[in-house]
């Protein structure tokens, strides 16, 4: 099956730090168009395109802009979420390292729409090696007059600054990211007030994921009708899928929204290597559900996946073969959340560790049916009462694993042999 | 635990280094939003954010030391406690996990005679848990002082570590 | 106005009110832990969650604004289950030693657990934080095993007092609220104000308990002498469960006698003495080119604050000791001689609204009598506990009277208990001394009330004296910065570390502004009823100068009633 390269069009073809290369490939045409448009026209265009956030929740992009646009303030900000902390995800790294100017262009268009003159890219600390190149790319864009003061003679100013994280998954949550950019611990804020009213430095702010921003220039360049022809009715456009784990061909792939998960795994990525078989798939990163091999014949599209109890999220597809154990996977997953909980609210701070302990107890063959009940009820409370999305979604994988792989949990409780969990010298004790 | 704490309390960096720290922080006086930038630069010249280091940052930037301390203890990549010359970040996230990260980690532990989270006696290596580093296409992976090594097996990781032990890495 | 329905009851609230505000208005009880009416909304404990129709999951009622037509359920099975689950998580981390905890019976956490009917042991293994008890401070004990990370202490310390001793360390399950780098309280700039004690909902931060010391002095057959600070009479009854602002002067005296005190004196008397000395010092500074502005020195937390953060201003501090520490040496000299008791046989106990006084009484300078002038400081909380322990029916106690020669204080001495009181008391005396006329009106309202910084000026026969009053150390910092930069010029500045002054002190029953307001009302009402309202008109003051001290600022005064200060800048770290 052929990939459809809209976002990856330039990746590997141009020098990423070169604004000139980007311009020669048609770059900044979209911004030029947008500069001659009014706020309402830009937002209307995004609305017509049907673009939805590629970071996780799939929120319509134009609505975020609308909120910030309708709040009166001389200072507003555009923030690009390049924290990409979901385990298994590296699509944003590919975009940042392969075609950063497209992201800048998207940010500038958003800036023009809401009346912001300053943008921040918050990039995770692990990507520190991209920093110098991005500085160069920003500098080159300014030299070409595509960023900075009086962009393309339009009188519109837009400056982008780069900010680094230093290892905190929770900073991918938008208000936690604002806190981090402000020089504080990355702990989330409660809402309302919403970022569109009171965001970064207390100013109206629009925050978008790298991939979402990369979609904006193509929309303005090629028009909303063209964009609508790609993907599905509810989720137009292409999507980057990071397929990792036990597949032949790991990597980042671009396909129209709605591609079938089974086809992606078997046709595109070559299926499961070493003669093993598929056991489970976790879609959407660490907070995505575990589904079993009978549940993978589904279109990867925001609403469909959501309706089936899953989450397309960042488009990460973790393929797990049958040499693994689901209970062990759940332990690994919960270990991640217990290490990454910021500790601000009680349910998440305490609950992530307790969920891990309960799952570990089961994987160790010391669990009882009561422990499964405890996981379920604690999970429900965390899901209902946690402060931010981290605590609310940390329970999804374990709950889905129990639902979709119940016999495996029973097997561990019954102390039947598990080749993975009975192995000596496991980490994370 | 107590001993470790004492060591952290009494650790001091040389006065000349503190002067350098002050130079990094001073331009950002009364601009607390640049704390991350300052801290990441300072991290290049000090082994840990000891008391004297955060005190200088606090003084130069005019923000409370408690805030600096609270900040650096929050982020995984910043250290207030003991840290070796080389920090080996072992990715334990699912994509690495299912491709043998445990065996790789075990090999490194056995080789250096330390457990996850510990530092060797000679202060050369620290073994640290890391969440996903975004290089899952080459999992299992580790990162040593910013450098990524992927597609590891217990054998290949031993070769990598050996080069650090021999100081053959730039 | 916004109309909403809570548990079937319709209620109207102002725009901006939270669901919690609305529920309280509708008389619906929602348990809270991190919420404190004096503080910002934190929404971190999540115990106050409620169900809102049309919203997913549960909402924290403290941080969710009420909106028009909202339908809220505060006690649905889903809500109750979540609250119990959250409490269970807290319990699994909390040392279950409530019977041996200072806060037993007064603990917010315990009360909430009780209200939730937590009748089963936690499903999770008990996992108590590895933290040792910090007993190093003379005033405050920190036991971080009991901390539930509500963040109240940090807000008080950082945002109200601006001392910033506490930092949230690490993250997630490993988070702790501590001084940085494992430091003990005694090695930090902590000024012992005890405002963190005031807001802690558990036994994690408590007043250092010195009641045992008192009992052991009693065992040694000492002559037990109590002196009672002005604000205690409007605070003690509240600490024993009565309404805030209940005045219990006479009952308090009787209780102390029942506990075993031989003499009960009124620190209001010593406050009058302070006015005599401090007023004279102020005039001396103004007339003879002394360092101005002069700062009051009654508040030991403020003194330590100045010594630590603003040592360059130590010359601005009045050399007068606090009323308590003026009283100490007089008890062990003047009084001891008068009643012919060996001073070493006297145990002098000060009953205070204040935790910092415990530090003050241990200062090296406070040995003017040749002994530690005040042997023990008991806070209102501790005295209340002693009264309880003794089985005294405080509510129905008969009224007692103070002992002489220190049994009468003026109204001026009494109002020391509220912010602005020292200033008002001093001005009453200074004004009359300079002009020969009584200040009219005697109630000097510009310095009363809870505005953070209050300014006023008084015309003393042509010399306009500019004064300012600050309470809460955040406000003190502001005023010091104004003075340091030359933007503000004053002659006399009163500073009290605790918001509201001593009636809001760290050793009282847990505060809210509403309660402190009641205490303030009580103290000013009480002062109006007193026969003497100016310090210099207190007959016992006149007598002690005649018999013993000579004149204010005289040699004897200098020896017993004045002090010097120590530069503690080092505590701020390298």
In this predicted structure, what is the pLDDT of residue B5? 52
- In chain C the domains, ranked by start, together with CATH numbers, are 2-91 (3.10.20.740), 129-207 (3.30.70.20), 212-561 (3.40.950.10)
What is the spatial distance between Cα C322 and Cα C365, in angstroms, rounded to a whole number? 12
Contacts of A183 in chain B (CB under 8 A): 32-36, 63, 71
- C527 is annotated as an active-site residue: no
In this predicted structure, what is the pLDDT of residue A308? 80
Q: How far is B69 from chain A (nearest CA, A)?
A: 10
What is the spatial distance between Cα B162 and Cα B155, in angstroms, rounded to a whole number? 11
Q: How far is A408 from chain C (nearest CA, A)?
A: 23
pLDDT beyond 50 at B2: no
- C200 is annotated as an active-site residue: no
In this predicted structure, what is the pLDDT of residue A288? 92
In this predicted structure, what is the pLDDT of residue A137? 98
* B95 shares contact with chain A (CB less than 8 Å): yes
ipTM exceeding 0.90?
yes
DSSP string for C116-180 = TT--S--SSPP-------B--SSSEEE-GGG-----HHHIIIIIIS-----EEES-GGG-EEE-G
What is the spatial distance between Cα B47 and Cα B79, in angstroms, rounded to a whole number? 8
Residue A344 and residue C44: Cβ atoms within 8 Å?
A: yes
In this predicted structure, what is the pLDDT of residue B8? 59
In this predicted structure, what is the pLDDT of residue C259? 97
- In chain B the domains, ranked by start, together with CATH numbers, are 2-74 (no CATH), 86-165 (3.40.30.10)
Contacts of A167 in chain B (CB under 8 A): 75-78, 130-131
Contact C345, C337 (CB under 8 A): no
Nearest CA in chain C to B57: C574
Positive or negative, the CA dihedral C204, C210, C211, C212 is positive
Domain spanning A19-228 has what CATH number? 3.40.50.11540
**What percent of chain A clears pLDDT 90, i.e. is strictly above it?**
91
- C360 is annotated as an active-site residue: yes
Residue C44 and residue A346: Cβ atoms within 8 Å?
A: yes
DSSP string for A41-93 = HHHHHHHHHT-B-SSSS--BHHHHHHHHHHS--S--EEEEEE---STT--HHH
* C181 shares contact with chain A (CB less than 8 Å): no
- Would you list the domain boundaries of chain A? 19-228, 238-321, 326-413
Structure tokens, A362: 């089961």
pLDDT band with cut points at 50, 70 and 90 for residue B70: very high
Task: Pick out chain C residues at pLDDT < 70.
Answer: 574
Positive or negative, the CA dihedral C411, C413, C416, C422 is positive
Mutation target vs B (from A244, A324, A343; most B CBs, 10 A cutoff): A244
In this predicted structure, what is the pLDDT of residue B3? 47
Mutation target vs A (from B90, B97, B116; most A CBs, 10 A cutoff): B97
Q: What phi and psi, each to the nearest 5 degrees, are found at residue C348? A: -100, 115
Q: How many CB pairs under 8 A join A and B?
A: 138
**What percent of chain A clears pLDDT 70, i.e. is strictly above it?**
99
Contacts of C168 in chain A (CB under 8 A): 185, 343
What is the spatial distance between Cα C352 and Cα C299, in angstroms, rounded to a whole number? 11
Residue C89 and residue A338: Cβ atoms within 8 Å?
A: no
Each residue of C518-550: b (16+ CB within 10 Å) or e?
Answer: bbbebbbebbeebebbbbbbbebbeebbeebbe
Q: How much is the CA Rg of chain C, to the nearest whole Å?
A: 25
- C357 is annotated as an active-site residue: yes
Q: What phi and psi, each to the nearest 5 degrees, are found at residue C50? A: -140, 170
Q: Which residues contact A59 (CB under 8 A, 6 or more apart)?
A: A52, A53
Report, as an integer, the average pLDDT of A1-23.
96
Please tell me which residue in C361, C502, C520, C535 is annotated as part of the active site.
C502
In this predicted structure, what is the pLDDT of residue A429? 44
Residue C187's region, left for phi above 0, alpha for psi from -120 to 50, else beta, is: alpha
A238-321 CATH fold: Ubiquitin-like (UB roll) (3.10.20)
- Residue C568 vs residues A181, A182, C189: alpha-carbon distances, Å: 35, 32, 9
What is the spatial distance between Cα C420 and Cα A61, in angstroms, rounded to a whole number? 56
Report the 10 Å Cβ neighbour count for C97: 12
pLDDT band with cut points at 50, 70 and 90 for residue A426: low
Residue C171 and residue A192: Cβ atoms within 8 Å?
A: no
* B78 shares contact with chain A (CB less than 8 Å): yes
What is the spatial distance between Cα A163 and Cα B34, in angstroms, rounded to a whole number? 9
Q: What is the pLDDT of residues A382-392, one digit of tens each?
A: 999 999 999 99
- C281 is annotated as an active-site residue: yes
Of the candidates A62, A93, A106, A78, which has an alpha carbon nearest to the alpha carbon of residue A314?
A: A93
- Residue A162 vs residues A91, A128, A175, B31, C466: alpha-carbon distances, Å: 19, 11, 17, 16, 51
pLDDT band with cut points at 50, 70 and 90 for residue B1: very low
Q: What is the pLDDT of residues C450-478, one digit of tens each?
A: 999 999 999 999 999 999 999 999 999 99
Structure tokens, C354: 């204040």
- C238 is annotated as an active-site residue: no
Residue B65 and residue C180: Cβ atoms within 8 Å?
A: yes
pLDDT beyond 60 at A427: no
DSSP string for A1-51 = -----SSSSSTTTS-TT-HHHHHHTTTTHHHHHHHTS-HHHHHHHHHHHT-
A326-413 CATH fold: de novo design (two linked rop proteins) (1.20.1440)
Q: Cα–Cα–Cα angle for C256, C260, C266, nearest 5°?
A: 35
What is the spatial distance between Cα A174 and Cα A67, in angstroms, rounded to a whole number? 15
Report, as an integer, the average pLDDT of B159-165.
96
- C502 is annotated as an active-site residue: yes
CB-count burial class (<10 Å; 0-12, 13-18, 19+) for C180: buried
What is the spatial distance between Cα B66 and Cα C5, in angstroms, rounded to a whole number? 44
């Amino acid at each position: 099956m052929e990939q459809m390269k809209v976002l990856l069009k330039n990746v590997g073809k141009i020098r990423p730090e070169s604004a000139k290369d980007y311009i020669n490939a048609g770059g900044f045409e979209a911004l030029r168009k947008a500069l001659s448009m009014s706020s309402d026209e830009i937002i209307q265009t995004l609305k017509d395109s049907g673009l939805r956030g590629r970071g996780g929740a799939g929120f319509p992009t134009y609505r975020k802009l609308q909120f910030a646009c309708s709040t009166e303030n001389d200072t507003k900000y555009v923030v690009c979420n390049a924290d990409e902390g979901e385990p298994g995800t590296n699509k944003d790294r590919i975009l940042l390292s392969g075609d950063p100017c497209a992201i800048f262009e998207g940010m500038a268009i958003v800036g023009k729409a809401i009346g912001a003159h300053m943008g921040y890219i918050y990039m995770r600390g692990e990507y520190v090696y991209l920093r110098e190149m991005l500085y160069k790319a920003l500098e080159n864009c300014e030299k070409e007059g595509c960023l900075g003061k009086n962009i393309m003679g339009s009188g519109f100013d837009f400056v982008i600054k780069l900010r680094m994280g230093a290892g905190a998954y929770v900073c991918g949550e938008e208000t936690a990211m604002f806190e981090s950019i402000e020089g504080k611990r990355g702990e989330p804020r409660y809402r309302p007030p919403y970022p569109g009213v009171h965001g970064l430095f207390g100013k109206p702010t629009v925050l978008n994921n790298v991939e979402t921003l990369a979609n904006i220039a193509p929309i303005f360049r090629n028009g909303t009708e063209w964009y609508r022809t790609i993907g599905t009715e509810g989720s137009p456009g292409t999507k980057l899928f990071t397929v990792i784990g036990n597949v032949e061909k790991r990597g980042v792939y671009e396909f129209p929204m709605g591609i079938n998960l089974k086809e992606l795994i078997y046709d595109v990525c070559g299926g499961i290597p070493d003669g093993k078989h598929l056991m489970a798939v976790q879609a959407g990163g660490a907070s995505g559900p575990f589904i079993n091999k009978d549940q993978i014949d589904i279109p990867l599209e925001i609403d469909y996946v959501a309706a089936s109890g899953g989450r397309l999220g960042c488009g990460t597809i973790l393929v797990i073969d049958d040499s693994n154990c689901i209970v062990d996977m759940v332990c690994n997953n919960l270990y991640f959340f217990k290490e990454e909980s910021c500790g601000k609210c009680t349910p998440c701070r305490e609950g992530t560790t307790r969920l891990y302990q309960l799952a570990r107890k089961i994987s160790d063959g010391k669990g009882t049916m009561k422990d499964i009940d405890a996981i379920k009820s604690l999970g429900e409370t965390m899901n209902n009462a946690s402060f931010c999305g981290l605590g609310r979604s940390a329970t999804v994988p374990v709950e889905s694993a129990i639902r979709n792989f119940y016999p495996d949990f029973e097997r561990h409780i019954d102390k039947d042999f598990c080749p993975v969990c009975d192995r000596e010298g496991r980490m994370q004790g | 635990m107590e001993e470790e704490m004492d060591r952290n309390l009494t650790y001091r960096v040389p006065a000349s280094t503190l002067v350098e720290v002050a130079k990094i922080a001073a331009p950002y006086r009364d601009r607390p939003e640049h704390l991350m930038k300052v801290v990441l630069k300072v991290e290049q010249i000090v082994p840990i954010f000891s008391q004297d280091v955060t005190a200088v940052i606090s003084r130069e930037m005019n923000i409370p030391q408690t805030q600096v301390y609270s900040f650096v203890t929050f982020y995984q990549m910043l250290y207030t406690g003991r840290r070796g010359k080389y920090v080996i970040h072992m990715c334990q996230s699912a994509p690495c996990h299912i491709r043998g990260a445990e065996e790789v980690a075990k090999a490194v532990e056995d080789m250096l005679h330390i457990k996850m989270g510990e530092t060797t006696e000679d202060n050369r290596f620290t073994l640290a848990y890391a969440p996903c580093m975004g290089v899952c296409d080459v999992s299992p992976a580790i990162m040593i002082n910013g450098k990524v090594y992927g597609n590891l097996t217990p054998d290949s990781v031993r070769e990598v570590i050996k080069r650090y032990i021999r100081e053959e890495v730039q | 106005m916004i109309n909403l329905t809570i548990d079937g009851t319709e209620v109207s609230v102002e725009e901006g009110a939270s669901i919690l505000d609305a529920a309280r208005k509708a008389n619906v009880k929602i348990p809270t832990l991190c919420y404190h009416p004096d503080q910002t909304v934190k929404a971190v404990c999540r115990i106050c969650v409620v169900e809102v129709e049309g919203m997913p999951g549960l909402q924290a009622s403290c941080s969710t604004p009420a909106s028009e037509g909202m339908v809220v359920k505060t006690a649905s099975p889903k809500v109750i289950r979540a609250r119990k689950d959250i409490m269970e998580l807290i319990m699994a981390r909390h040392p279950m030693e409530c019977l041996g905890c200072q806060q037993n019976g007064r603990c917010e956490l315990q009360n909430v657990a009780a209200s939730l009917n937590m009748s089963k042991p936690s499903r999770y293994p008990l996992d108590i934080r590895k933290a040792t008890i910090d007993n190093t401070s003379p005033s405050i004990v920190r036991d971080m095993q009991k901390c539930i990370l509500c963040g109240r202490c940090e807000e008080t310390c950082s945002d109200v007092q601006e001392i910033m001793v506490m930092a949230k360390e690490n993250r997630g399950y490993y988070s702790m609220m501590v001084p940085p780098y494992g430091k003990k309280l005694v090695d930090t700039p902590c000024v012992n104000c005890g405002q963190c004690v005031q807001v802690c909902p558990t036994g994690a931060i408590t007043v250092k308990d010195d009641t045992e010391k008192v009992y052991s002095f009693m065992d040694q057959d000492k002559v037990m002498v109590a002196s009672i600070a002005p604000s205690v009479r409007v605070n003690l009854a509240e600490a024993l469960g009565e309404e805030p602002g209940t005045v219990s002067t006479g009952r308090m005296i009787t209780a102390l006698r029942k506990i075993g005190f031989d003499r009960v004196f009124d620190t209001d008397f010593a406050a009058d003495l302070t006015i005599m000395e401090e007023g004279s010092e102020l005039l001396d500074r103004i007339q003879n080119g002394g360092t101005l502005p002069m700062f009051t020195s009654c508040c030991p937390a403020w003194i330590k604050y100045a010594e630590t953060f603003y040592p360059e201003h130590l010359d601005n501090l009045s050399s007068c000791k606090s009323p308590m520490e003026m009283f100490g040496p007089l008890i062990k000299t003047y009084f001891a001689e008068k009643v012919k008791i060996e001073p070493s046989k006297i145990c002098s106990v000060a009953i205070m609204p204040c935790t910092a006084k415990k530090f003050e009484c241990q200062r090296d300078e406070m040995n003017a009598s040749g002994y530690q002038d005040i042997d023990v400081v008991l806070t209102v909380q501790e005295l209340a506990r002693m009264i309880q322990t003794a089985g005294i029916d405080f509510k129905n106690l008969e009224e007692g009277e103070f002992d002489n020669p220190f049994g009468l204080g003026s109204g001026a001495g009494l109002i020391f208990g509220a912010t602005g009181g020292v200033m008002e008391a001093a001005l009453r005396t200074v004004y009359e001394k300079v002009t020969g006329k009584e200040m009219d009106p005697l109630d000097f309202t510009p310095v009363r009330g809870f505005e953070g910084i209050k300014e006023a000026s008084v015309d003393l026969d042509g010399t306009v004296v500019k004064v300012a009053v600050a309470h809460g150390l955040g406000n003190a910092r502001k005023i010091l910065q104004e003075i340091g930069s030359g933007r503000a010029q004053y002659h006399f500045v009163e500073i009290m570390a605790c918001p509201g002054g001593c009636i809001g002190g760290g050793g009282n029953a847990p505060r809210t502004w509403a309660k402190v307001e009641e205490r303030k009302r009580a103290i000013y009402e009480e002062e109006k009823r007193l026969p003497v309202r100016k310090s210099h008109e207190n007959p016992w003051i006149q007598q002690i100068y005649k018999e013993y001290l000579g004149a204010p600022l005289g040699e004897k005064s200098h020896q017993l009633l004045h002090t010097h200060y120590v530069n503690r800048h080092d505590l701020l770290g390298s």
